[in-house]
Structure formats: C-alpha cells, structure tokens
Amino acid sequence: MTEWLGLPALAAAHGGQIDSMLGWTHVYMLILFVGWGGFFAYCLVRFRRSRQPVANYAGVKSHTSSYLEVAVLVVEMVLLFAFSIPLWAARVDRMPAANEALLVEVTGEQFAWNVHYAGPDGVFGRTDIKLLDLQSNPLGLDRSDPAAKDDVTTVNQLYLPVNKPIIVRLRSKDVIHSFGVPEFRVKQDAIPGLTIPIWFVPNVTTAEMRARTKNPEFQYEIACAQLCGLGHARMRGFVTVETADEFQKWIDAKIQEQSEEDPFK
C-alpha cells in the first residue's frame, strides 16, 4: 500500500503500522501542499498590483481563510490523535513481557556499537568503569562476577532470533548517538546517563532477505542517526536475524569461545 513512498524493505512485525502512518502523513501533507499552493497562486492573481494599485487598510473581509485554517488544524489533530498517539501507545509505550522477549544491551560509543547479552542465566554481569579497556573490554564487564560468566559481548554485531520480541536497552558512553535500523522501522537516540528501552519483532531473517532482494551480500545495518563526531560515518553495526536454532548455536559458540579466552576460568 505504501510502495509509492520508496521505503526500505520491511522486516519487523509492527512496521506496517509505521508505514501506514507515514503514508497517511504524506497524503495529508500532499493535500495541504496542493491547497496552500493553490491559495498562494490565487492570492498572487487576485491581489495583483494592476488590480490593487493602492493598499487597502481594511483588508479582506471574508472568513474563508479562517475556515481553511481550521480545516488544516482538524487534519493535524486527526493525525495526532487518531494515528500518532495510538501508534505510540501500541508500538512504543507497551513493552513486551520480559519473559517472552530477548533483552539485549546496546551501548553506543565513538564510534562503535557494543552489544551485551546476559547469556542463559538471563542476568547481566556487573560492569565497572575501572575495568573498561577500549580494546579488550569496551563495556568494563567484570568477568569475576558469576553472572558475567555466560555473558556475551560483541562489537558492531547484533545477532537476533526471528519472530521473537527484542528489547534493546540503549545506552551511550560519551555523546548522543542514535540507533536506527530502517528495515525494523526503529530509531531511538542513545543518551549518556540514560538507559532507554526500545522493542521490535524482526520477522524476516537475513537469509530470507538476501533471497528476496537477490542480493547475497544484504545485511541489516545499524546506522548511527545522530552526527556524533568525526568518525560518525563509520559507526555502522550489523544485525543478523536468524532462526531460533541458528541463534542458539551462535550464542553457545560465543560463550564457548569466550570461556576459552578467559584467563580467569
């Protein structure tokens, strides 16, 4: 229905609602544009100099323009109250239950996305700013904490299972970044000092999307959508959406690999 907008391919369960909202906004704005444009052209002709050589201080007495403005206001109220607020309530405000969702922490920094999974125990290990090392431990994860043993961290690689609600807890280490994945129709600023949750349900795997777009190199990309410094343009993360089994295999392998690297284990 909204193909005419030329949006990126859709890969999240609720994305259709966002697209329809975008579609309606464009339709209303097109009507307004044509209306205002027509009104402007009419005024140029109607109040041309040859017809009105001298300014008339009383001005126009008709109320037509006031009625038009009220009509514009009504259209904008419809957009706000009939579309935006209900959509916000359904899509943003109401988080999925924590036991049905996969919770991932994503921390922006200049210029990378740090991804942190709690692992099978579902508990995020302790982090400590003193342990922070940009190369080896960008999140300052304390591996001596029992809850951290099975935690998985990656840089710029977000793996997600398909058809499962994902809650991303967004944070930032330095400046304002913005987590934007166009195919999931999500975009949210990551603000230092705040932890901001967003959620979505990816419903097309990377493999399916590659087949659909006939592009074997297709990847979902986390684009930093706030100009965050000189390296902003290279602040790209990648999202791989897999089946539940593939995702489980990936995370198990990751846990294995990290425990082998871990000198304290």
Point out which residues bind Cu ion (CB under 5 A). Answer: 177, 224, 228, 235
Nearer to Cu ion, 189 or 252 (CB): 189
- Give the chain's largest Cα–Cα span: 90
Residue 202 Cβ, how far from Cu ion at the closest point, in Å? 22
| Cβ nearer to Cu ion, comparing 234 with 265 | 234
Contact 101, 39 (CB under 8 A): no
Q: Which is nearer to Cu ion, 149 or 177 (CB)?
A: 177
Least distance (Å) between residue 223 CB and Cu ion: 9
Q: What single string gives the DSSP state of each residue in 11-74?
A: -BTTHHHHHHHHHHHHHHHHHHHHHHHHHHHHHHHHT-TTT--S--SS-----HHHHHHHHHHH
Q: How far is the CB of 231 from Cu ion (least distance, A)?
A: 8
What six digits make up the tokens of 159? 């793996």
Of 116, 197, 125, 199, the C-alpha closest to 159 is: 116
Residue placing its CB nearer to Cu ion in the complex, 91 or 177? 177
Rounded to a whole number of angstroms, the minimum distance from the CB of residue 177 to Cu ion is 3
CB 74: neighbour CB atoms within 10 A?
10
State which residue, 8 or 192, has the beta carbon closest to Cu ion: 192
Q: Which helix (H) or strand (E) holds 158?
A: strand 157-161
